Structure 1
Amino acid sequence: MTSAELEAAWAGDEGAFASLMSPFLRELHVHCYRITGSVDDADDVLQEVLLAAWKGLRGFSGRSSLRTWLYRIATNCSLNLLRDRSRRARPAPLPPFDPPTPSDLFDQPHFQPYPDAWVNELDPAAQAIARESVELAFVLALQRMPPRQAAVLMLCDVLDFTVSEAAEMLSIGKSAAKGLLQRARAGRPSSPPQATEAAQWDIARRFAEAFSRDDIDALVGLLTDQCWLAMPPATERYVGRTAVEGFLRASAAGRPGGSYALSAARAGGRPAFVCYLDGRARGLLIIEPTWDGSKIASIMRILDDGFHRHLGAPDLLE
């Protein structure tokens, strides 16, 4: 940022404003995603952040850095969205078959994984931190924290802001911010060891081959005893190999249009596949391999027929 750019933006120069914002766009989007757990919601929040920054730029005094000022806006816009989201349900498509009774509820109907390719747009120093903090299990755990706890945890432990800076961003006292951070750290999930990239893609390949043939016996052989399956925005969850097997068999038997074709992708730090039925994109599959890559610990099916566009995948599969 140069003083000339800032003065031009103050004077209403949209090009200068865009130049000021450009270095921060991806990292702000990642931050909004961590708090909301949704790529689509992060898109919406980032637009609100830019609008608020444009309207409020004359109020930016320079007492903090421009980055800190933008993170304050982004954090509060994200928390506002979460408050508004609690009053609106996200409708789930009805399955074209009669599914078995679920084991329990999946409490994150808005959840979407973050495309790995977008993390690569960050500068190299930020990529490793961002990859860990957008991993599937970590973001799901964040969504189950009280929102302000999750926000303080992200600001302090991921982005290295001080407790005082986080408190100022949230317009709360330093003691309150410190207490939120302590409780968030107590509930922060540990990062278990991960299978190597080669091992993850080996079991992903075997999963894809069995899934695209509707070979349920082969699929079940890849699952752990405690494997679970969820399908946001649907709120049903199937827990345990037997329950997951029951759903997979019902889906294969009752699905119109034949079997799926799968196109490899990567999201949430995990192997993923864009699903195509009759050549048309029909959502996303993500698998969570065990630490040694020998089995599959969870399957998530994103029931959003437009999500593949975030991954740069085509609408139609030749």
Structure 2
Amino acid sequence: MTFVRLVEEHRDELTAHCYRMLGSFHDAEDAVQETFARAWQSRDRYEDRGALRAWLYRIATNRCLTMIEGRGRRRELPTDLTPGAAPVAETAWLGPYPGRRSVTVEQRDPAQRLVESEHLELAFVAALQRLPGRQRAVLLLREVLGYPAAEVADLLGTSVTAVNSALQRARRVVDALRPTGSQQVELSGLGDEKVRELARRYVTAWERGDVDAILAMLTDDARYSMPPLPQWYEGHDAIRQFLLDGPLSVRWRLVPTYANGQLAFGTYLWSPEASVFTAAALDVVALRDDRIAEVVSFLTPETLRMCGLRMQLDQDLDRDEESRSARGDESVGPRGL
């Protein structure tokens, strides 16, 4: 097998790792491209083919650390801010990761895939962004990828003692910020049929502009945010007023999909001038039991393309065709409902 093919086998898992480090899918893709370029330049000096994966993670992690240091700001969600607070100037918002789950070459066991998907969920990745770069790297290399402390120390050019200390500090921060429940557990507990039914009801409520039906699907303490806008809303009263004041005054089409291992919806706004529905946002939702506890609506239409969705929908587009546009490989990348 050629060197290029050997390296390419690790693209998906490296992209997931860099996304966790950087909080941006586009930045992660850039980091992986740079990793491959550097690996190619150094291929003549690389001899231990059995350690290729660790070697690539060393390059990718250090590239991410350089990007974090150069960025000088962290990524976050609007709900990281107190209501009404202004964001830090030039805030870098956390972005979504396309697809239901990412499967690595070596992690094909269902339990391992579940753990990996949990580590792509928005809440976990948002918590990671609160950590200094090296603590972030240690936590991911030790607890997500399963490297022993001695190997992580070698990868990062530090000591085992420093690795263990960084891991303890990182765990305290992340455990305090991430929710107790996993979206993978919520989705599995509901089962595919109930998830599809929930998605269908949510789509119908939005397309009918039925605010009461939408609110009935939300938990009492539900939160709604729309990065890059800093404002966010919590509870039925605040969300009702927000929906009636703006979003529900226009026509929408929604297409179910997945992002960050979570249920998501591509949203399309009616354009009277073009007589089509145009891509507006990717709504990533967090479930609690059979209701929606949070909606993060990423107001960046290009994210729909990342999930394999169209940028426009005809008014009379058949729902079966619409679902096919969202469907991809179940194990890697976007997956329709």
Into which bin does the TM-score normalised by the smaller protein fall? 0.7 to 0.9
- Alpha-carbon shift at residue 273 of structure 1 (Å): 1.0
For 2:63 and 2:56, locate their aligned partners in 1 and report how far apart those are by CA, in whole Å.
11
Per-residue CA deviations over 1:63-91 (Å, capped at 9, x if unaligned) read: 9711111001111111222223336999x
Secondary structure of residue in 1 paired with 2:40: helix
- Alpha-carbon shift at residue 201 of structure 1 (Å): 3.5
User: Counterpart in 2 of 1:221?
Assistant: 216
For 2:52 and 2:310, locate their aligned partners in 1 and report how far apart those are by CA, in whole Å.
37
2:65 to 60, 66, 79: 79
In structure 1, the gaps of 5 or more residues are 6-15, 93-100
Q: Is the 8 A contact 2:138 2:163 kept in 1?
A: yes
User: Counterpart in 1 of 2:254?
Assistant: 262
Q: Is the 8 A contact 2:199 2:256 kept in 1?
A: no
Instruction: Provide the identity percentage.
Output: 34
User: Counterpart in 1 of 2:198?
Assistant: 203
For 2:229 and 2:179, locate their aligned partners in 1 and report how far apart those are by CA, in whole Å.
27
Q: Is the 8 A contact 1:103 1:238 kept in 2?
A: no
The answer to whether residue 228 in structure 2 is matched with residue 233 in structure 1 is yes
Give the TM-score taking structure 1 as reference length.
Answer: 0.81
For 2:212 and 2:95, locate their aligned partners in 1 and report how far apart those are by CA, in whole Å.
28
User: Counterpart in 1 of 2:120?
Assistant: 134
Per-residue CA deviations over 1:68-126 (Å, capped at 9, x if unaligned) read: 11001111111222223336999x9xxxxxxxx95456787432222225625755235
Distance 1:28 1:174, change over 3 A: same
Q: How many residues align?
A: 290
User: Counterpart in 2 of 1:184?
Assistant: 170
For 1:287 and 1:87, locate their aligned partners in 2 and report how far apart those are by CA, in whole Å.
26
User: Counterpart in 2 of 1:124?
Assistant: 108
User: Counterpart in 1 of 2:93?
Assistant: 110
Give the TM-score taking structure 2 as reference length.
Answer: 0.77
User: Counterpart in 2 of 1:175?
Assistant: 161
User: Counterpart in 1 of 2:301?
Assistant: 305
User: Counterpart in 1 of 2:281?
Assistant: 283
- Alpha-carbon shift at residue 38 of structure 1 (Å): 1.6
Secondary structure of residue in 2 paired with 1:304: coil
Q: Which amino acid aligns with 2:278?
A: R
CA root-mean-square deviation? 2.8
For 1:296 and 1:170, locate their aligned partners in 2 and report how far apart those are by CA, in whole Å.
40
In structure 2, the gaps of 5 or more residues are 271-276, 315-337
Q: Is the 8 A contact 1:105 1:237 kept in 2?
A: no
User: Counterpart in 2 of 1:95?
Assistant: none
Q: Is the 8 A contact 1:226 1:239 kept in 2?
A: yes
For 1:184 and 1:87, locate their aligned partners in 2 and report how far apart those are by CA, in whole Å.
18
1:39 to 10, 18, 25: 25
User: Counterpart in 2 of 1:147?
Assistant: 133
- Alpha-carbon shift at residue 25 of structure 1 (Å): 0.9
For 1:208 and 1:47, locate their aligned partners in 2 and report how far apart those are by CA, in whole Å.
37
For 2:287 and 2:28, locate their aligned partners in 1 and report how far apart those are by CA, in whole Å.
27
- Alpha-carbon shift at residue 39 of structure 1 (Å): 1.2
- Alpha-carbon shift at residue 58 of structure 1 (Å): 3.1
User: Counterpart in 1 of 2:36?
Assistant: 50
User: Counterpart in 2 of 1:9?
Assistant: none
Q: Which amino acid aligns with 1:124?
A: R
Aligned pairs for 1:84-99 (under 5 A) are 84-86=70-72
For 2:17 and 2:306, locate their aligned partners in 1 and report how far apart those are by CA, in whole Å.
17
